[in-house]
Amino acid sequence: IVSAQKNRTFTFPQGFLFGAGTSAYQTEGAHDVDGKGQSIWDTHTHEHPDRIADGSNGDDAAKSYYKYKEDIEAVKEMGMQIYRFSISWPRIMPLGLPNIINQKGIDHYNSVINEVLSNNLIPMATIYHWDLPQHLQDLGGFANDDIIIYYEAYAKVIFENFGDRVKWWCTINEPYYQAFGYEGTLFAPGLNSTGIGGYLAAHNMIKAHARVYHLYEKQYRSKQKGRISLNMPIDWPAPRDKTSTQDQEAAKIELEFSLGWFAHPIYSKEGDYPQVMKDRISNFSLAAGFPFSRLPSFTSAEVEYIRGTADYFALNQYGSKHVAKGEQGPDPSFDRDSGVVMTGNKKWPSSRTSKWETITPKGLRDIIAWIRKEYGEEWEILITENGFADGGQLNDTLRVGYLATYMTDMLKAIYIDKCKVIGYIVWSLIDSFEWMSGYTSTFGLYQVDFKDPERKRTPKQSAYFMANITKTREIPSFYAIVTNKLDKL
């Protein structure tokens, strides 16, 4: 029985949703067209091409601003239901300020949304995917708590204009990585305020998210009837040595410092930051002569205001990492505060173009189960990103294997671990500007020819594979065996 169950293929549950995702800066191009203002990623790539692997930028990207109809058609061709895209704040408000609204920006997203609907697809919109209007950054960006009212004003314009047709919302994509733009230099705005800036930005992002959730609740939900969440990234941290209590402890701390930082205030019964973060950051701060903790604190009214501000759990999951206790990074810094080090992962296969990305499907199953255990079984989980990076070839066998084995372990989470996973959105629909990797590493189900002024799109093997999955609603049984093998590594 055990082996029959182990190698069993599961059928996707009825009503299970499939989709593919993109983000504005990574795909649209048209960076200075039709009244769009400049974002922190325009600035970051223009001023620091040295921080991008191939010195490139998203000025033109995949030209989706012009070719969105083809992109939407591609989602439809694969038999999926959801198209996840993001709205560029500086396209809607060139300076990020609510007194100047760029009608052409509104028109553009109206066209995108209407095209999605006329293809019988479901639009899922990310309100903010890292492209902050530069003018707001000049005022401090997420480190200035006035960002909360500016973000709310922006979201209000979004709900007013698009909420009649968009029912799935993501407020902020991966606040964890946006916070790293304040902690280090790799991500815009590249502030390099280690141990301070990231916590401050995160604090204001959590409050801004909650504020927008309450805005929707009060003014839009009864009419628009949508669902709101924010996307949480998490690479599953596994103890370097399973039998070492030190390493196990490191894995627990890492889960709280990466996922718990944002998820605990919103999804846990008690709310607020994880205790281990509060304790460690406060202790290190006081010992170093700070009169207070570098981790800002929420008042008890704020804890209540933030708790429960999500309608589903939006999970972005890619790889796993081995962790152990140890000290690294400048003093003070997020890394030092966590006291966790990554120890490499020799036994796991990984992407050749994105070294951080391991092919470890069990990590997806484990994190889903962890979320259920930590935050309660009532949360419905929607996988809003999962995907694989390579060099962009059409014959993308590794991507097919990655998607198949991750979906297999996701189905185990559903059927064996009894977790509520309601959908799976592949990152990404098309090859795109991959942040600091530029165009050297891409995630598309469709290839984009970046040398072609027309940016020709061509389905990869993985696109045909996904089309087959949505049709048969079953993963070929061969992958059950591959998944079991990978899970033992």
CB of 11 to ligand GBH, least distance (A): 29
For 240, the token pair is 């370097």
CB of 193 to ligand GBH, least distance (A): 18
Q: Are 219 and 152 in contact (CB under 8 A)?
A: no
Q: Are 434 and 442 in contact (CB under 8 A)?
A: yes
Nearer to ligand GBH, 220 or 406 (CB): 406
Q: Are 307 and 266 in contact (CB under 8 A)?
A: yes
Nearer to ligand GBH, 262 or 305 (CB): 262
For 443, the token pair is 């995630």
Nearest residue relative to ligand GBH (C-beta): 356
Clarify whether 174 is annotated catalytic: yes
Candidates 163, 194, 165, 169; CA nearest to 181 is 194
Nearer to ligand GBH, 106 or 410 (CB): 410
Q: How far is Cα 152 from Cα 211, in angstroms, rounded to an integer? A: 7
List, edge to edge, every strand of the sheet that includes 340-342. 236-239, 320-325, 340-342
CB of 410 to ligand GBH, least distance (A): 17
Q: Which of 174, 254, 256, 374 is catalytic?
A: 174
How large is the C-alpha radius of gyration of the chain? 21
Beta-carbon contacts of 60 under 8 Å, excluding residues fewer than 6 positions away, are 29, 30, 31, 455
Q: How far is Cα 21 from Cα 17, in angstroms, rounded to an integer? A: 13
Residues that bind ligand GBH (CB under 6 A): 23, 26, 173-174, 177, 233, 316, 318, 356, 385, 427, 434, 443
For 247, the token pair is 């390493």
The DSSP-derived string for 100-136 is ---HHHHHHHHHHHHHHHHTT-EEEEEEESS--BHHH
CB of 354 to ligand GBH, least distance (A): 7
CB of 439 to ligand GBH, least distance (A): 12
Clarify whether 385 is annotated catalytic: yes
Q: Which helix (H) or strand (E) holds 285?
A: helix 275-287
Q: Which of 183, 357, 385, 434 is catalytic?
A: 385
Nearer to ligand GBH, 23 or 338 (CB): 23
Nearer to ligand GBH, 181 or 271 (CB): 181
Nearer to ligand GBH, 174 or 409 (CB): 174
CB of 342 to ligand GBH, least distance (A): 9
Beta-carbon contacts of 449 under 8 Å, excluding residues fewer than 6 positions away, are 455, 456, 458
> Catalytic site residues?
174, 385
